[in-house]
Amino acid sequence: MRNPLKRLQTADPKPTLRDRLASMKAKPAGFAAETSQGRRAMLAGCMAAAMPLPALSASGQVASDGRGDYLARLLTAYAEDRACRPIAGLAENGSIEEAAADLVMRRCWALCMEILDLPAPQAPDGLALTALAATIELEVCLDNSTSRRARAGVALTRAVLAVTGMALPSGFVGFGDEPDCPDLDEALYGAKGSLPAWAIAEAKAGKAAKGSGTADGDYDEGDA
């Protein structure tokens, strides 16, 4: 079975952006795509909705939450995620490329959830970081969706981004309700892709550990 994200000509309707991302998140865990994406969207939205906003004007205000390292890691992980998408969309099932791209995407998603699991921020920079993590987690969640929880999560996330001045990350295609979201998604997957060395090494090590005995070539970052 080939990767569900490949751009093959079939008789089936073209999957929505939300369906495509959901299938990527759900495949290794064995969940149905709709269930996995719905749970993640609801989780991120509910976390954001339940998070108390810091009293920015109160006396004794915290100047910083000291989470600059998280921000640097998240921006790096997201940049790697964007670069791997063209490869993830074309890689053969079971290949080193597919495994490496999956590792990249899952590292980014896991970091988002790690940030959302942190104690509620007490300073504007921490609030902005939380909004950025929620932004990435909720990407294209509104594409062909009428979920009230997803809409609430996106609305709150957009509000926090605006209040904190946090810019959308480079390569972000949208929450799914923007008119240019499909075009941005096509541009993302049509760009020249690359994989980081750490992901290629881990994918090769994982395959070697399974003892499959199949050769997929020597893929190097930037080959796509």
Q: What is the DSSP string of 24-93?
A: HHHTTTT--HHHHHHHHHHHHHHHHHHSPPP-TTSTT--S----HHHHHHHHHHHHHHHHHHHHHTTPPT
- pLDDT of 14: 54
Question: Does the predicted model carry a pTM greater than 0.85?
Answer: no
pLDDT of 36-92, one tens digit each? 545 555 555 555 555 555 554 444 578 999 999 999 999 999 999 999 999 999 999
The H or E element that residue 129 is part of is helix 124-137
Q: What is the dihedral of CA 44, 46, 48, 51, to 10 degrees?
A: -140
Cα gap 97→33, rounded to integer Å: 22
